[in-house]
Amino acid sequence: MKPSIGRIVLYTLTEDDAQAINKRRADFDQHRKTDDYTDTGYVAHYGNEARAGDTYPAVVIRVWNDDLVNAKVLLDGTDTYWATSRHQGDDNGTWNWPPRV
């Protein structure tokens, strides 16, 4: 199968992905404790800890060729992660089709 815009795939996080996600969440957590924080439409980067090897559903946003895509990863929390120029595969940092059940 070829990827196309809007399709759901599974994306597996790398160590760098997980660190970036957890840093955004820690930054948000620290910022919301300050006096200048008010509920004015901030996107809350909040959720369970992300780890390398965790697999999440992702929506294909752009297709570069038969296996290279940009995808919006739906994390276990209030935020998403933009995985750019990722190949199909079984390793961390790749996407694959969900298994049929």
List, for residues 69-92, the tens digit of each pLDDT value.
Answer: 999 999 998 889 999 999 999 999
Do residues 74 and 35 make contact, with C-beta atoms less than 8 angstroms apart?
A: no
- Domain encompassing residue 61: 8-34+49-96
Instruction: Classify residue 39: in a domain, yes or no.
Output: no
What is the arithmetic mean of pLDDT over 41-57? 85
What is the count of structural domains for the chain? 1
Q: Tell me, yes or no, whether 43 lies in a domain.
A: no
Sign of CA dihedral 37, 74, 95, 67: negative
With respect to residue 23, please indicate whether it lies within any of the assigned structural domains. Answer: yes
Could you tell me if residue 1 is inside a domain?
no
Answer whether residue 71 is part of any domain: yes
Q: Can you give the pLDDT at residue 24?
A: 87
Flag whether 92 is in a domain.
Answer: yes
